[in-house]
Chain A
Amino acid sequence: MEKITTHTGIGVPLRQSNVDTDQIIPAVYLKRITRTGFEDALFAGWRKNPEFILNQEPYSAGSVLVAGPDFGTGSSREHAVWALKDYGFRAVLSSRFADIFRGNSGKQGLVAAQVGQDDIELIWKVLEESPGTEVTVDLEARTVICGTVTAPFQIDDYTRWRLLEGLDDIGLTLRHEQDITAFEARRPGFKPTTLPARS
């Protein structure tokens, strides 16, 4: 994973709450077996509407999505994060994220920055009044800056550290290989196994 310390890019105001992952990427696009190439799938349903924010210049070149509360609810599909990243987004700002989406973002280097709803409203105003305004997401300082608005954001320490260092989770866990093996030796015998295959 690439290291991220700070990102600056055009902010996209998405004035909507409960943006579920079915909206971020409809199920029909989940049939692919690749991990990239989902840019066409992002908000595929809504992008058919010419008035949708990503169909408007200069928002179409945005890389920081500023959304309403409860972003990323519903399905666990990590494709939602892949689609956002493939399109060009590097950060999403919301006052509340669904747990699984937040976790998936951290694994893939998309910054899910939790910003208070009052600050979200201020940022929306700036982005709507001055389209094309850039938003800076400073992971080190845990601050977002948009025009005259400077706001703190929350992200858990561990995710922030991994993003800053660009660390691979599996590699980190495998440092504990001996602990895992020791744990396995202690597991009760009555726990089920899926093998051998059915008779």
Chain B
Amino acid sequence: MAEHAAGRTLAEKVWDEHVVTKGSDGAPDLLYIDLHLVHEVTSPQAFEGLRLAGRKLRRPDLTIATEDHNTPTLAIDKPIADPVSRTQIETLRANCAEFGVRLHPLGDAEQGIVHVVGPQLGLTQPGLTVVCGDSHTSTHGAFGALAMGIGTSEVEHVMATQTLSLKPFKTMAINVEGTLKPGVTSKDIILAVIAKIGTGGGQGYVLEYRGSAIRSLSMEARMTICNMSIEAGARAGMVAPDETTFAYLKGKPHAPQGADWDAAVEHWKSLVTDEDAVFDEEVFLDANELEPFVTWGTNPGQGVSLSESVPSPEDFGDENARAAAERALEYMDLQAGTPMKDIRVDTVFLGSCTNSRIEDLRIAADIIRGRQKDPNIRMMVVPGSARVRLEAEAEGLDRVFKDFGAEWRFAGCSMCLGMNPDQLEPGERCASTSNRNFEGRQGKGGRTHLVSPVVAAATAVRGTLSSPSDLDPLPGAAAGSTATAAA
């Protein structure tokens, strides 16, 4: 990382611990990789590369695979209907068998979105370097790991060498102080951060989320924030590990045990930014002021508070931003000045590596329990992993969703990117708890508004983009009591 005379940041400490060889004359450092997560989409060409070069996969014991992007969320006991998807899944199975990689296939209790599976197994731990051929690998930074998405050439490189050649990043502190209002969640924090620094603001940086508002978040809420670091252009985002982190990890299947646990925790406690460390950049956000945040455009930086209106292209000083806004409004079929809360949606998608964990499902279930779904809304609930689905069913959340009229699906990436049959129709408008509102991301011609699970649930009740405070109180309940505490 950058040379500082003063103390080191969290990211710099983790980096320094993994340097195999230091680059000189502008050459990158060679960093050791502790954990390599693999899925079916970005790995086949990497395995093929190993085969063609006659190379072995160096550390199968630091590698784990699951099936998520292509997998159907209905009838998972049947063969996958799409032959191309089926081939890709079968290729992963054959490759994992050939190279000795542990795989959690469709139907397995640990199958699911790769960024949900790593943490729930306890494989994601503080101070690790974690990579995956998927940009949302930044999720794992919530544990104080240096975690980043890589391309397929790099996947092959890690398979062959268990290392990655990397140039040091710059560091950026995202300071979020204060207390979130009821109904405001970590999703709103990160959407506000992206709107503030832009989709390119984090390029070349590792972000460290700090401050009282971050400290008070659960692990799952921290994962939501780190997950979308890439949407601000940063390859990685981190939160320093603390008691919340340790409590989450304790007892997980792959968490250290006994004396190893004690040694690990002692080390993990050193993984904080030194008081005299200097960040290359600092950003400040007031948690007290935050409102539920939603996007109106076709990149994650095009967002506003739910209480605001669709902006006008004229609001943007920069010519490129203005042109982008014009184009986005046309694609999204929105008029400048329309209150966000007047926007009627067709579909609500609760899922994706951003917001499909058990807490997300609980938060949404708490809001819809006892209420009726807007009859014109289709709501899909896709747990992040088979384990999350089982947990939710044990708590009866599946019944809450089904009674409400939502579809209760099997685990996977699903409608976040529509590589499986879960796609929007052209022109269909979706309130989605996922991470990208790009043109066509959820299906050709589909229109995406990124929202928190809280807003997703309230929107499913009212049919228009809504927060719980817009809902009529349930009989016998005090007004506003449905607004869930900050997640």
Q: Which A residues contact B (CB, under 8 angstroms)?
A: 15-18, 20, 22-23, 26-28, 30-35, 45, 68-70, 73-79, 81, 96-100, 103-104, 107-108, 156-158, 169-170, 172-174, 176-177, 179-180, 183-184, 187-195, 197-198
Q: List 8 A-B contacts (CB under 8 A).
A: A33-B48, A74-B230, A74-B436, A74-B438, A176-B20, A180-B163, A190-B263, A190-B264
CB-based nearest A residue for B31: A183
Q: Which of B26, B45, B161, B254 contacts A192 (CB 8 A)?
A: B254
B366 in the interface (beta carbon within 8 A):
no
From B28, B48, B91, B235, contact of A35 by CB (8 A):
B48
At the interface with chain A, which of B80-88, B181-189, B374-382, B390-398? B80-88
The yes or no answer to B199 lying at the interface (CB within 8 A) is: yes
What residue in chain B is nearest A107 (Cβ atoms)? B153
Q: Could you tell me if B62 and A157 are in contact, using CB atoms closer than 8 angstroms?
A: no
**Are A30 and B21 touching (Cβ within 8 A)?**
no
Please name all residues of chain B whose beta carbon is closer than 8 Å to the beta carbon of A33 when the two chains form the complex.
44-45, 48, 87-88, 91
> What's the least CB distance linking A67 to chain B, in Å?
11
A-B contact count (CB 8 A): 214
16 new A-B contacts at CB < 8 Å, known A31-B87, A189-B263:
A31-B85, A31-B419, A34-B45, A45-B439, A74-B231, A74-B438, A76-B42, A77-B41, A96-B203, A99-B235, A103-B150, A104-B153, A176-B21, A180-B20, A192-B34, A195-B60
Residues of B within 8 A of A (CB): 20-21, 23, 25-28, 30, 32, 34-35, 41-42, 44-45, 48-49, 53, 55, 60-64, 69-70, 82, 84-85, 87-88, 91, 102, 110, 122-123, 125, 128, 133-135, 149-154, 156-157, 160-163, 165, 167, 199-200, 203-204, 230-231, 233-235, 253-256, 260-261, 263-264, 267, 299, 320-321, 323-324, 327, 417-419, 436, 438-441, 444
Closest beta carbon of chain B to A195's beta carbon, Å: 4
With A74-B135, A174-B161 already in contact, the answer to whether A191 and B128 are too (CB < 8 A) is yes
Q: In the complex, A189→B436 CA distance in Å? A: 39
B441 touches A22 (CB 8 A): yes
A22–B438 contact, CB under 8 A? Answer: yes
Partner of A17, one of B35, B53, B123, B320: B320
Does A27 contact B417, Cβ atoms closer than 8 Å?
yes
Q: Are A26 and B153 in contact (CB under 8 A)?
A: no
A70 to B41, CA, bound (A): 24
With contacts A31-B85, A76-B150 taken as known, whether A197 is within 8 angstroms of B102 at the C-beta atoms is yes
Q: How far is the CA of A194 from the CA of B82 in the complex (A)?
A: 31
The minimal Cβ–Cβ distance linking A136 to chain B, given in whole angstroms, is: 25
| Cross-chain contact A76 with B134 (CB below 8 angstroms) | yes
Residues of A within 8 A of B320 (CB): 17, 68-69
Query: Are the C-beta atoms of A99 and B267 separated by less than 8 Å?
Result: no
Q: Closest CB-CB distance, A3 to chain B, in whole Å?
A: 17
Contacts of A183 in B (CB 8 A): 20, 32
Q: Answer whether A20 and B263 are a contact pair too, CB < 8 Å, given A33-B88, A74-B438, A170-B55.
A: no
Is A22 in contact with B436, judged by CB distance below 8 angstroms?
yes
Contacts of B34 in A (CB 8 A): 187, 191-192
Cβ distance B401 to chain A, nearest Cβ, rounded Å: 26
User: B102, B151, B264, B321: which contacts A78 (Cβ < 8 A)?
Assistant: B151
Cβ–Cβ contact B324 & A17, under 8 A: yes
Partner of A99, one of B53, B233, B440: B233
**Contact of B199 with A18 in the complex, beta carbons under 8 Å:** yes
Q: How far, in whole Å, are A69 and B320 apart by their CA atoms in the complex?
A: 8
Does the CB pair B154–A107 fall under 8 Å? yes
Residues of chain B lying within 8 A (CB to CB) of residue A104: 151-154
Q: Which of A76, A177, A187, A194 contacts B133 (CB 8 A)?
A: A76
| Residues in A whose Cβ lies below 8 Å from that of B28 | 158
Q: Which residues of A contact B327 (CB under 8 A)?
A: 16
Chain B residues in 8 Å Cβ range of A68: 320
Assess whether A194 is in contact with B149, with CB atoms less than 8 Å apart.
no
- B30 partner residues in chain A, CB cutoff 8 A: 173, 176, 179-180
Chain B, residue nearest A194 (CB): B64
Question: Is A76 a contact of B149 with CB atoms below 8 Å?
Answer: yes
Q: Which residues of chain A are near B263, meaning CB under 8 Å? A: 188-190
| Cross-chain contact B161 with A180 (CB below 8 angstroms) | yes
- B151 contact from A28, A45, A76, Cβ within 8 A: A76
A27 contacts B419, CB within 8 Å?
yes
**Residues of B contacting A195 in the complex (Cβ-Cβ under 8 angstroms):** 60-61, 102
B167 contacts A158, CB within 8 Å?
A: yes
* Chain B residues positioned under 8 Å from A79 (CB to CB): 152
Contact of B42 among A73, A77, A97 (CB under 8 A): A77
